[in-house]
Structure 1
Amino acid sequence: MALITTGGSPSSSATDDIEQLEVNLNNYQELYRAALKGNWKEAKGFLDRNPDAVKARISSLKMTALHVAACEGHSEFVENIVALMPAGELAQLDDLGYTALHYAAIGGSLRSAKALLAANSTLTQVVDSEGRTPLLLAASLGSESKELVWYLLLVTTDEKPGQPFTGPRAAYLINVFIASGLHEISLYLLEKHPHLATAIDHQDNNCTPLFILARNQSNFLSGSRLGFWETRIYQFLPVEVNYRPPRSVRAYVGGHESAQDELRTPTSAQNKGQVLHGLRRLLCGAIKPIASARFRKLQDAKLRHHFAVELVQQICKQISKKNVSERLDYLLKLEILNTATVNGTTEILRILLNFFPDLIWVRFSNNRFLVLTYAIEHRHENLFRMVCDKTARNKLMASAVLEPRETILHLAAKLPPLSQLSSISGAALQMQRELQWFKVVENLVHPYFKEYPNTNLETARELFTKEHKELAERGEKWLKDTSNSCMLVATLIATVVFAAAFTVPGGNDNSGAPNLLPKNSSTFMVFVVSDAIALFASLTSLLMFLSILTARYAEEDFLQSLPRRLILGLASLFYAIASIMVAFGTTIDLVLNNRFSWVSVTVTSLATCLVTLFAMLQLPLFIQMVQSTFGQSIFRPENIGNSMDLCKKDA
């Protein structure tokens, strides 16, 4: 063991103490190794020879064998050694300031925690060197074991010295629960201790529960980046909401909760559509055994989103009990409103506006209103829908001159944050979306402000061209590269199907008529039609991609012209690939079906798989382009009153 000194040499008595400590620790090396490995048989033999060693300090950090085993997660070892130790000794702290229960909480070992608390129930109130209870450590470092967190929450009381629910660490506790994604546990805790909903953690930059929710965008659907297929599956996933601790955990603490301890159950409004919900549950139950980890993760995410909305509701109920000035101070000075707006957390803002409608008039720095300016600057479509209609309020917001000397149209002319820009695939589609933003904001502002210059004497249109010059160049390159690749495929298909039209299966007779036509007229016609479709579709695709290569690539072309050509080109290419597979399948059927009947089935299956694979790979991008180009505008107005009603339904 190394000795670090600050100067001079240690005294002889200090040296003797250190040497004696090393000798004592060496005596316990066998027990130490057994505790590290969880080898109870070896440890039991040592303890039989040295009964007092059960409570001895066996490491330089003054750990007991119980500390070591709990730290390493050896639950069976912990159970056995707890049976040999006096109850009072279980509360010993090592030099790191932890009890064995602290280590069990950090490691997420429910079995060890149960054994320790069965022997000494007061361990839940013992704090470490920083004043943290085992519950707080489990929430912050052992949150992957949700059952353990539930268990410690149910058995922990609000007594000194810990006072986890009313003491100086209470605000940190609820914040850690929320940050760890333990939203249902947070709801349970707020039901028991409502004051925690607005608690402020002064030791951690004045963090509040609502700020923690707003900071992590993945707590809500609006901030979750779901893929194409995930978005479709998400809508149909059932959510099994349980507002109480798991039954298994309640059994650990001595039975069921009383009626007054139970949280509210879903209301009748939430129980509507029970037939549909039942079908979803049935379908989900059938898929679950074979579902991938991603599917289960998606279902967990939907449940987390539901609980997060419930948390915001409960927090806002507590905020509403404050007077008007206290509400504004709480929401503005603690960065709650600003964070939710910048992150585009629609769920939080809808609920806040439902409880406190006057917040819509709040201005941030630089004369910026709550929703409109931040929605445009950060490209949050759902927020913009709340204020893109032409009410008197929104007209006033749209006509405000921001500092330094710019309008909301200048905000739309600037490049958005990279995180928002990269959410769209392909530089060309990114450029299209930017043009859509600029056009819709341009329609919102008064004509006077369209030519309003900023401090650099640039109009919004000039600023847009300058800011998006590089993006337009990348969009042009992306379109040309895509067109070149697709043209090669289309050319190959056209060449093959053109040749197949003159070399039909089975050959021709002396008059030029196909030999197989009289015998298999229907199958032969399928070949002819599919071959013709493949030829026309591939040539159409070729022309569309050629027109993209020869386009002028002006800014306005990215809005409609170029995306339409790309959509038609990809659609034609898909039809060409599908048709050539049909032509190939019918050719095999015509030539070999009479001798090998299984061939046609095999070839058809393989061709179907190939076409399906192509569709699955290209369909998400294709649908995104179609929706963006031909679909209903993503900037359609959504009245704030309707948003509030929707928020009530979601809650």
Structure 2
Amino acid sequence: MEKEIIISKPDMNHFKEMSEPYKKVLANDVHGLAAIYSGNPDALFNPITARIDTIFHIAAYDGREEVLRVLLGKVPQSKKAEVLKVKNIYGNTILHEVATTTHVNAARLLMEEVLPGIDNWQREEILGAQNKLGETPLFRAAEYSCKMMVEYLATAIGRTGNLESHFRRNDGTSILHIAVIGQKFDTAIWLLGKSPELATYTDKNGNTSLHLLASMASAFKSSSPTKGIFKELIYHSIPSDSRKEEGTNELTKNRQNRDLEQGEQNRGLNQQDYCKGWKMIVQIWKQKKMHESAVKLAKLLVETDASWFEPHEPEEDDTIVMERKEEEKEETSKSNATANTERSPEPDTPLLIATKTGIVEIVNEILTRYPQAVYHIGTNGRNILHVAIMNRQYKVFNVVKNKKEAKRLVRGIDNHGCTILHYAAKTKYYHGGTKPTPALKLQQELTWFEEIKNHMPSHFIMHLNKRDTTADQLFKDNHLDLLKTSQEWVKTTSQSCSTVAILVATVVFTAAYTAPGGFLQNGRPILLEQPLYSFFTVMDVAGLASSLTSVVIFLSILTSSFEFEDFHHRLPRNLSLGFTFLFFSVTSTMMTFTATILLLVHLEKKWTATLTYAAAFLPICIFALFQFPLYYQYFVAAVKSILDFLKRNLPGNWDFLQIIDD
């Protein structure tokens, strides 16, 4: 039973005293607030929210400069320092609250009204005040606010105190860590310029800022591609940020341009203002700016990263094993049980984390600056190819496979006895691929497996991992569910398409014996001499032939064995042909219908004829609109299978016959 809450009359009066100033500060009612506190300035320090915020907390957070100016004028000079010392329930002072916003003028007003009248010791106390997490106002600004706020607070701190005392909070997280976590990359770049040693700071888990950045797939173009051709075109049409870095740390009071992270720049240079109102363009613009800032930050952080140089010797040499001893199997089962309960606290290196998340920019930057880093081996014995392949990071794999060092890396065997081909077979980190249907997903996995196999020494295919399994066996075991799903999808799709093709064949077959206009007594069509009649005949025959061909193709698909090998080339190719003939048969049927209408009804007005044509082609357009993406995928799959066949069987170098996959 819930406890009954009884509110006394004094409590009601207190609630009213709290609600009135709260409403007025939100409404920016300066005169109303002045009237409330004119006779009782001590009430300015009373809490007015459940978070124990004072009127100053709310006004500062909302950027009410005039309200702050009037209320500060009512505080006696001897108590003004207390304004910036009072804390809410989270231990945040007024500077903590305003530091999380972009209201730099409000922060400047507070500090100019309060700080000049106090000594340096009190200034350091106010600027270095910590909340319950151990965060100073500067620390919170790095996570939530813009670069301009961080610059202003850092400049104020630099005049009287030690900036380094603001670099960490209680849990060991540094100010650069928090800027990266908040994706304030311009702020992070500025902080690195101020204190380069921040790049080497680690948190309680041993992560540097580069570790965190390497795990942010959404911050980079390669790992968060723009979806849609139109959006991609806009992305590449937007100009890059060519602004030069400012050469001074001093901030002028009349600075009006906001930081890049808030989506605005200097009014004289900002082209983004022309896109206001176009939400999609503004969003893509901000995304591109974030991508560019993330790349700049990554380049700075990579300069001080030496984690790739830490040696980790793998437990197994690059020699294949064709038979495992029983002792090894027992030891493997014990080690697997231990691995499930105990995890190493040591994090992966930024190189392997970026490989896992598919951030090509960081991988390229590390390998460009330190080419020998490509040989780096993680604590579990995996190299960069193991990680890229197991996480299906095709772009990273394409970067590494073209390097000379790849010939040595492909022979790598990790601590579980797995080659890179074993990881191409595993689906633990497989998240559905990039293809739309189960059949294409399975084909993508088969193609991926075959490509990895082609890059390995041929005898490595026979290698047994510590679970006594070859890569081929592992692939079939891990893809059984996908195979069953693909089989069901292909059968259902083929049956549905066969039904449609038979209906189309029935319609066009009937149309052939019910010619428009009828027949003469000798069996000759009445409208035979009309030009459109020949068009009607050709379209009718084409529709019948293509629909029957489509039926035959789909029937051949239904009678196939549906094994793994069938999904690699034959089934996708046949589905592509079946869809092509089905689409052509539907198109021919509609053209036949259009020709019939024009033969029977003589349209003299142009607008009537135009409407007739539009109505006739509407089903074709809708069919093409909805089926084109699927048809395109299967068409590409069919073309790739044909090109692969030519490359395998024709003499000479046919590498130019290649379609780059996703």
Question: Shorter-chain TM-score: what band?
Answer: 0.7 to 0.9
CA distance in 1, matches of 2:308, 2:115: 42
Shift of 1:55: 4.7
1:647 aligned residue? none
Give distance in 1, aligned partners of 2:453 and 2:363. Answer: 25
Whole-angstrom distance in 1 between the partners of 2:402 and 2:595 = 56
2:368 maps to amino acid: N
Alignment of 1:315 with 2:304, yes or no, is no
Letter matched to residue 446 of structure 2: L
Which residue matches 1:224?
224
User: Could you tell me the TM-score, scaled by structure 1's length?
Assistant: 0.75
Residues 176 and 496 (structure 1), Cα distance of their counterparts in 2 relative to 1, 3 Å cut: farther
Matches within 5 A, 1:167-246: 167-169=167-169, 172-196=174-198, 198-202=199-203, 204-224=204-224, 226-229=226-229, 232-233=232-233, 236-243=236-243
The answer to whether the 8 Å contact 2:546/2:582 transfers is yes
Which of 337, 345, 362 is the aligned partner of 2:351? 337
1:357 to 352, 368, 371: 371
Structure 1, residues 554-585: CA drift from partner, whole Å, max 9, x if none?
21111100000111122222323333343444
Q: How does 1:292-307 map to 2 (within 5 A)?
A: 293-307=279-293
Shift of 1:362: 1.7
Matched-pair contact (CA < 8 Å) for 1:592–1:599: no
Secondary structure of the 1:28 match is helix
- 1:348 CA drift (Å): 1.1
- Identity of counterpart residues, as a percentage? 27
One-letter amino acid of the counterpart of residue 371, structure 2: P
Q: Quick one: structure 1 residues 212 and 390, their matched pair in 2 at CA, closer, same or farther if it must change by over 3 Å?
A: closer
C-alpha contact 2:572 2:637 (8 A) present in aligned 1? no
Q: Against the structure 1 CA distance between its residues 125 and 573, is the aligned structure 2 distance closer, same or farther, given a 3 Å change threshold?
A: farther
Mapped contact 2:498–2:551 kept (Cα < 8 A): yes
Gap change, CA 1:251 and 1:102, over 3 Å in 2: same
Q: 2:96 aligns with which of 102, 117, 120?
A: 102
Q: Which residue pairs with 2:500 in the alignment?
A: 489
CA distance in 2, matches of 1:66, 1:310: 38
Matches within 5 A, 1:376-525: 376-388=389-401, 391=404, 393-419=405-431, 421-516=432-527, 518=529, 521=531, 523-525=532-534
Equivalent residue number for residue 44 of structure 1:
34
Query: What is the aligned partner in structure 1 of residue 585 from structure 2?
Result: 576
Could you tell me how far 1:402 is from its partner in structure 2?
Answer: 3.3
> 2:637 & 2:191 partners in 1: Cα distance?
44
After superposing on structure 2, the runs of 4+ consecutive aligned residues of structure 1 that deviate more than 6 Å are: 21-24, 72-76, 121-124, 322-326
Q: Per-residue deviation at 1:313?
A: 1.4
Match of 1:567 in 2: 576
| Distance in 1 between residues matched to 2:141 and 2:163, nearest whole Å | 16
> 1: CA distance between counterparts of 2:276 and 2:526?
53
Contact persistence 1:379–1:416 (CA under 8 A): no
C-alpha distance in structure 1 between counterparts of 2:291 and 2:546, whole Å: 45
1:252, CA displacement in angstroms? 7.5
Summarize the Cα distance change of 1:536–1:110 in structure 2 as closer, same or farther, 3 Å threshold: farther
Partner of 2:551: 542
What code does the residue aligned with 1:64 have? T
Q: Secondary structure at the match of 1:212?
A: helix
Q: CA RMSD in A?
A: 4.2
Aligned length: 572
Distance 1:228 1:542 in 2: 33
Residue 34 and residue 235 in structure 1: after superposition, are their counterparts in 2 closer, same or farther (change >3 A)? Answer: closer
Report Cα offsets for 1:608-630 as digits up to 9, x if no partner. 55444433433333333343453
Report if the CA contact (8 A) 2:520-2:526 is conserved: yes
- Contact 2:142/2:150 (<8 A) preserved: no
CA distance in 1, matches of 2:454, 2:54: 73
Assess, with a 3 A threshold, how the Cα gap between structure 1 residues 609 and 404 changes in structure 2: closer, same or farther.
same
- Residues 373 and 84 of structure 1, relative CA distance in 2, 3 Å threshold: same
Map of 1:127 onto structure 2: 129
Q: CA deviation at 1:36?
A: 6.4
Pick closer, same or farther for the CA change 1:38–1:228 going to 2, 3 Å.
Answer: closer
Q: CA deviation at 1:255?
A: 4.2
Q: How has the CA–CA distance of structure 1 residues 482 and 99 changed in structure 2, closer, same or farther, with 3 Å as cutoff? A: same
Contact 2:21 2:36 in 1 (8 A): no
What is the Cα deviation at residue 353 of structure 1?
A: 0.8
In structure 2, C-alpha distance between the alignment counterparts of 1:188 and 1:587, rounded to whole Å: 73
Distance 1:305 1:167, change over 3 A: closer
What residue in structure 2 maps to residue 29 of structure 1? Answer: 18
Distance 1:516 1:152, change over 3 A: farther
What is the alpha-carbon distance in structure 1 between the residues aligned to residue 251 and residue 614 of structure 2? 54
Between the aligned partners of 1:487 and 1:234, the Cα distance in structure 2 is: 41
Q: TM-score, normalised by structure 2?
A: 0.74
Q: After superposition, what is the alpha-carbon deviation per residue over 1:177-204, rounded to whole angstroms, capped at 9, x for unaligned? A: 22333333433443344333x13243x4
Once the two structures are TM-superposed, the CA of residue 414 in structure 1 deviates from its matched residue by: 2.2
Using a 3 Å threshold, how does the CA distance of structure 1 residues 494 and 199 change in structure 2: closer, same or farther?
same
Equivalent residues of 1:135, 1:153 under 8 A apart: no
Report the Cα distance in structure 2 between the residues aligned to 1:592 and 1:252, rounded to whole angstroms.
79
Mapped partners of 2:595, 2:564: distance in 1: 46
For the 8 Å contact 1:367–1:401, the answer to whether it is kept is yes
Task: Report 1 or 2 for greater relative contact order, CA contacts < 8 Å, sequence distance ≥ 6.
Answer: 1
Q: CA deviation at 1:478?
A: 1.3
Residues 614 and 133 of structure 1: CA distance in aligned 2, closer, same or farther (over 3 Å): farther
